[in-house]
Amino acid sequence: MPRFLTMIRIDENNVPAEGPSPELMERMGKLLEEITKAGVMLDTAGLRPSSEGTRVTWSGGRMSVTDGPFTESKEVIGGYSISQCKDKAEAIEWTKRFLGTHEEYWTITAEVREIAEA
């Protein structure tokens, strides 16, 4: 079965200062438990803020290293999951359910991409 990487993109400037609500964390936990029991979830995690990140770039034959935050970025990857689904449609359905656990004031985009197998 194919594997999929889902990248959760958020606008760090519009995330609640107190972070996710306890209710959101409970809904997420229940869904992640369901996905894991279904044998779909292989790995998932949230990421630390971009202010703690570093970009390494190779361009024009030169290497550059830039510490965050990255002010030119409107959206950053806030988390990811790796799932194994029968097809992309199933991966998208699980992703929609995950996004639907969030309250209305969240703005989140998820990019779902199949992992190329060697």
Q: Dihedral of CA 71/75/79/84: which sign?
A: negative
Report the candidate in 41, 10, 5 with the shortest Cα–Cα distance to residue 108.
10
| Residue 12 pLDDT grade (very low, low, confident, very high; cuts 50, 70, 90) | confident
pLDDT tens track for 15-64 = 888 888 999 999 999 999 999 999 999 999 999 988 899 999 999 999 99
Report the candidate in 39, 55, 34 with the shortest Cα–Cα distance to residue 3.
39
More confident residue, 18 or 81: 81
What tokens appear for 77 in the block?
Answer: 């990857």
Rounded to the nearest 5 percent, the helix, strand and coil shares of the chain are 30, 35, 35
Q: Are 75 and 110 in contact (CB under 8 A)?
A: no
Residue 75 to residues 98, 99, 115, Cα–Cα distance (Å): 18, 16, 22
pLDDT tens track for 82-101 = 999 999 999 999 999 999 99
